[in-house]
Amino acid sequence: MSRKYFGTDGMRGRVNEGFMTPDVAMRVGLAAGRSFIRGDHVHRVVIGKDTRRSGYMYEPALAAGFVAAGMDVIMVGPMPTPAIAMLVKSLRADLGVMISASHNPHYDNGIKFFGPDGFKLSDEKELEIEHMVDNGVFDALVPSEELGRATRLEDASGRYVEFAKATVPNGLTFDGLKIVVDCANGAAYKVAPTVLWELGAEVISIGVSPNGFNINDKCGSTHPETMCEQVVAHGADLGIALDGDADRLILCDEHGQIVDGDQIMALITRNWHKRGVLRGGGLVTTVMSNLGLERLLTGEGLSLARTKVGDRYVVEHMRKTGMNVGGEQSGHIVLSDFATTGDGLVAALQVLTEIQQSDKPASEACRQFDPVPQLLKNVRYSGGDPLEAASVKASIETAEQALNGSGRLVIRKSGTEPLIRVMAEGDDEGKITALVDAICSEIEAAA
């Protein structure tokens, strides 16, 4: 069955266009509510959102659908995505919903679900909800005496603050550390600075003035240059940049040099291995992670398992194999000892813990390996399937032959935007650039 609404990370699209309308959101809430009502107990759903203006539209639409399905709704307002996953388990809820388009601009929004175990829904469950949305969803309406009700949880942020602090070793503080935190004018604009301050750090907060339209706008993990500039200007020890829903993380060291998800995963994996708490003998990441990371870990007898792009697929592999560290180069870091999904703040706390305990500057602690030259370019297309064009296939085949085992080529469609992502890596940077440019030119011609 083809997917109509759900992509690699829930539903996502332009606000009030296509399927991202209040009507569809209400029907999705009704379908999801009916899908998760089992037995006679009181059923609950936790709904959170980021700071987009459109959240005020989708939140009541979803709530109406859930109430109509007989489910009680607990609204928590702007909260990080991982906080919703945590609260679902904490509140013994049947379902969690996060209204967010993550790192996308304000004019996009999305809806993603967490099951009662705090994990994102499987492809099969999403397809089940999709089918119900378009086929007799109003059959799920309950009699008036069985309607749910909606309430707001006022202390949700405090619960998440305490959860995040508990991931730091007992007795450890960040006294003496000056930290710049960029919250992308998004969901973590209150909780992230609070956690760092309560743990003793001197905090310089940016991206903490959301107005409904400035989320991810020249700030956050997709625009880390703002964080880098502030770190250097303030003489800070580290910079932390989160995205709009705070499930991904990019860092910079005291010199303003970027530390991406691959370096963060390498640091945590090696540190946990030394401490004897790493499970599964390695790391789970995606096809996009740098070859240098793989060489580092395999050289130390650790494994690196690759999945297709999407933190949900990383988590699926972690659950199957019992591994407890995974993530993506883009900054989704999943630490299953603490959370069921990517948590940018919790990952940052692990890095800060290593810096504080080792007494090393961030530039030394976070530089785990020298990346192999890697180039990623995006080509936007308006319709059809350019990857099926004979000229594009020929260009890809030529590139694979040129690499001949000395590098990697990854070409894929984005799961959230009409983009084709072309990535190549290898020891010869000039060759990599030429190969990527050639493939992109053929895709543009065929698009």
Cβ pair 245, 186 in contact under 8 A: yes
Show which residues are catalytic. 102
Within its chain, how far is the Cα of 101 from the centroid? 10
Q: Is 2 or 218 the better-scoring residue by pLDDT?
A: 218
Q: Tell me how far apart the alpha carbons of residues 121 and 144 are, in angstroms, rounded to a whole number.
A: 29
Interval 75-115: pLDDT, tens: 999 999 999 999 999 999 999 999 999 999 999 999 999 99
Please say if the pLDDT value at position 214 is more than 80. yes
How much is the mean pLDDT over the chain?
95
Q: What is the mean pLDDT of residues 289-295?
A: 94
Interval 268-285: pLDDT, tens: 999 999 999 999 999 999
Interval 399-420: pLDDT, tens: 999 988 788 999 988 877 789 9
Q: What is the mean pLDDT of residues 36-47?
A: 92
Interval 124-146: pLDDT, tens: 999 999 999 999 899 989 999 99
Q: Which residues contact 38 (CB under 8 A, 6 or more apart)?
A: 94
337 sits in which H/E element? none
CA 29, 84, 412 angle in degrees (round to 5)? 80
